[in-house]
A and B are shown apart, each in its own frame.
Chain A
């Protein structure tokens, strides 16, 4: 966790370190990054604690290093340490809060420093391009620590600390500052939102649990939506084929199924029916409806309900007469009429209602 909340005063420290850093730069790219990394990171870290560590690592580095630069760096370090200590003290005081963090993170700093080290080398060579990555990495680190107060000020400086040895840091830092952190943060938030929704969709779309990655998921989703739409088309074709026969079918079908027990008279009146009749219908059919809903096809077959074949116009007429549905015809232009009939054990009155349905269709317009 190298992104420290270093105040801008670190710049002076860094500048002071730079000549020493450049000394180390020579050996930096050649081999064995790790000790260097530790040196760098420790060196760049603000708190005195890291300076201590740097000393230790320098001592360790002496053995590991192949280059004489290490010795030089150690010397530098030892020489620089008082400066660093003194120089760091100022920022340390200001960054007292971050000291603990760095101490906590110091253990992980070496590994992360290695990563950063490779980035540093890349950056030193390319001098650009990885700004976005830096920002992202910095973002990540920042977010891990719960965000930073002044990301633009902190991250560049912290990054700069990490890469203090690089003279390119200055340029990189400027560029990094321009790649606004708020944008990357917003990007990250957006990406998280997208992944959230993708996970949600994963549960929705069958067979997507094994697929990871947005592209594959999107493919699966597209396929699924297309298949659903194709299913709807197929079913609509089927329904259209059944439609001509629907006169009978629908009526018998209506008896069992589509009436919503939760449908309130208010909603019914929306369809242009008289609420009074509907209330009556409800009262009569209320008990029956529950049974009807259970099993629409079975209902159709009940002996109470006339078989569909017989349900045709004659039954309508009878129904109309029996139920006095003349009033219904005008008012109840919907299933509810059927339910009335069914309630009385007669069959479907709808046939007669259908003629009335047409003029009232606009009212029933969905």
Chain B
């Protein structure tokens, strides 16, 4: 028997949504693992790094304390990552739009549980899930008030992108330190 109208509509809607989601989710996750994408990201990152270096050099490196420099590098890296995502995901768009939110979120990200409703008063199942979902939403930029299914999708893409970022940055860091440190090559090519 066929589903009733109400169910059919919701099912159709869900089917449409699912189709859209599947289209979005699968290719993006594969793309984060390809070599080409990593190289693309590395080149963008290096440009950004050069720019950061230039800006810090222009400022006579006075304002550039280690902390601010590392933060600038990190923001540049995240922005490069968001560009590599081509703005198809929420977190990438959020990163490109503004970093202030993320900066505000960072101090909270370390906390495992938010200081909200789940303050050890109730640990019943649904709220626990919800609070965890909220924490996760805060971790991913621009995904704070997202419902769980879409949040999970964003998180999976974000995780893949972060992994690629870590890989690329480690390669760059190793190469740079190897070059700067000594003539002997550290050959950490890694995934390359």
Chain A 230-271 interface residues, beta-carbon cutoff 8 Å to B: 231-233, 235-250, 252-254, 256-263, 271
Q: How far is the CB of B144 from chain A (nearest CB, A)?
A: 14
CB A205 to nearest CB in B, in angstroms, measures 7
Expressed in whole angstroms, the Cα–Cα distance for A152 and B10 within the complex equals 15
Q: 7 A-B residue contacts at CB 8 Å?
A: A180-B6, A186-B10, A249-B179, A257-B175, A301-B184, A301-B185, A334-B47
CB-contact partner of A204 in B61, B148, B156, under 8 A:
B156
Q: Which of A7-15, A39-47, A110-118, A218-226 binds B? A: A218-226
A20 to B166, CA, bound (A): 73
* B42-89 contacts to A (CB < 8 Å): 42-56, 58, 61, 66, 69-74, 76-80, 83
**B residues in contact (CB < 8 Å) with A:** 1-4, 6-7, 10-11, 14, 18, 21, 25, 29, 36, 39-40, 42-56, 58, 61, 66, 69-74, 76-80, 83, 109-110, 112, 125, 128-129, 132-133, 135-136, 139-140, 148-149, 152-153, 155-156, 158-160, 162-163, 165-166, 169-180, 183-189, 192
Q: Which of A276-305 contact B (CB under 8 A)?
A: 293-298, 300-301
CA distance A221 to B180 in the complex (A): 36
Note all chain A residues with C-beta closer than 8 A to B76: 366
Q: Which residues of A contact B178 (CB under 8 A)?
A: 297, 300
Could you give, for residues 306-348 of chain A, a 1 whenever the CB lies within 8 Å of some chain B CB and a 0 otherwise? 0110000000000000000000000000110000000000000
A197 within 8 A of B: yes
Chain A residues with CB under 8 Å of B166's CB are 228, 231-232, 235
Kindly state the interface size class of chain A when it binds its partner.
Answer: 35 or more
Q: Inside 8 A of B149's CB, which chain A residues have their CB?
A: 190, 193-194, 197
Do A222 and B7 have beta carbons less than 8 Å apart?
Answer: no
Interface pair B180/A229, CB less than 8 Å apart: no
CA distance A358 to B51 in the complex (A): 7
Closest to A301 in B: B185
| Cβ contacts under 8 Å, B73 to chain A | 236-237, 239-240, 243
The 10 A-B residue pairs with the shortest CB-CB distance, nearest first, are A182-B6, A236-B74, A197-B152, A258-B43, A240-B69, A240-B70, A237-B70, A245-B180, A228-B162, A235-B169
Interface residues of A in 154-210 (CB under 8 A from B): 180-182, 185-186, 189-190, 193-194, 197-198, 200-201, 204-205
Q: Is the interface of B mostly helix, strand, loop or mixed?
A: helix
**Minimum distance in angstroms from B48 CB to a CB of chain A:** 6
Cα(A236)–Cα(B75), bound, Å: 9
Chain B residue numbers with a CB within 8 Å of A193 are 14, 18, 21, 149
Selected from A200, A248, A308, the residue in CB contact (under 8 A) with B25 is: A200
B56 in contact with A243 (CB, 8 Å): yes
Query: Which residues of B have CB within 8 Å of A260?
Result: 36, 39-40, 43
Contacting residue for A182 out of B10, B47, B129, B152, CB 8 A: B10
* Chain B contacts for A293, CB-based, 8 A: 39, 192
**A297/B49 in contact, CB under 8 A:** no
14 further interface pairs, Cβ-Cβ under 8 Å (given A215-B125, A258-B39, A300-B185): A152-B4, A189-B14, A193-B149, A201-B155, A218-B133, A236-B71, A236-B74, A239-B172, A246-B53, A257-B192, A258-B43, A261-B39, A297-B186, A366-B48
Interface-side segment among A70-78, A82-90, A143-151: A143-151
Which one, B42, B54, B163, contacts A354 given CB within 8 A? Answer: B54
Residues on the B chain within 8 Å of A261, using CB: 39
Contact assessment for A244 and B53 in the assembled complex, using a CB-CB cutoff below 8 Å: yes
Is B153 a contact partner of A296 (Cβ separation < 8 A)? no
In the complex, what residues of B have CB within 8 A of residue A243's CB? 49, 52-53, 56, 69, 73
**Min CB distance, A10 to chain B, in Å?**
17
User: A185 contacts which chain B residues (CB < 8 A)?
Assistant: 3, 7, 10-11
Does A214 interact with chain B (Cβ within 8 Å)? yes
Given A218-B132, A248-B180, A366-B83, decide whether A335 and B46 contact each other with a Cβ distance below 8 A.
yes
CA distance A242 to B2 in the complex (A): 65
Give min CB distance, A141 to chain B, whole Å. Answer: 13
CA distance A233 to B173 in the complex (A): 12
Residue of B nearest to A231 (CB): B166
Q: Is A357 engaged at the interface, CB distance under 8 Å to the other chain? A: yes
Tell me if A5 is interfacial: C-beta within 8 Å of chain B.
Answer: yes
Contact of B7 with A182 in the complex, beta carbons under 8 Å = yes
Known interface pairs A189-B14, A239-B49, A366-B80. Does A197 touch B156 (Cβ–Cβ under 8 Å)?
A: yes
In-complex Cβ contact of B180 among A152, A235, A294, A308 (8 A): A308
Alpha-carbon distance between A150 and B6 when the two chains are bound, in angstroms: 10
Tell me the smallest distance from the CB of B142 to a CB of chain A, in Å. Answer: 14
Tell whether A361 is near chain B: CB-to-CB under 8 Å.
yes
- Checking A240, A248, A296, A354 against B50 with a beta-carbon cut-off of 8 angstroms, the contacting residue is A354
Does A80 lie at the interface of the complex (its beta carbon under 8 Å from any beta carbon of B)? no
| Contact B177–A219 (Cβ < 8 Å) | no
Query: Which of A205, A219, A241, A263 is within 8 Å of B43, CB to CB?
Result: A263
By the criterion CB–CB under 8 Å, are B132 and A236 in contact?
A: no
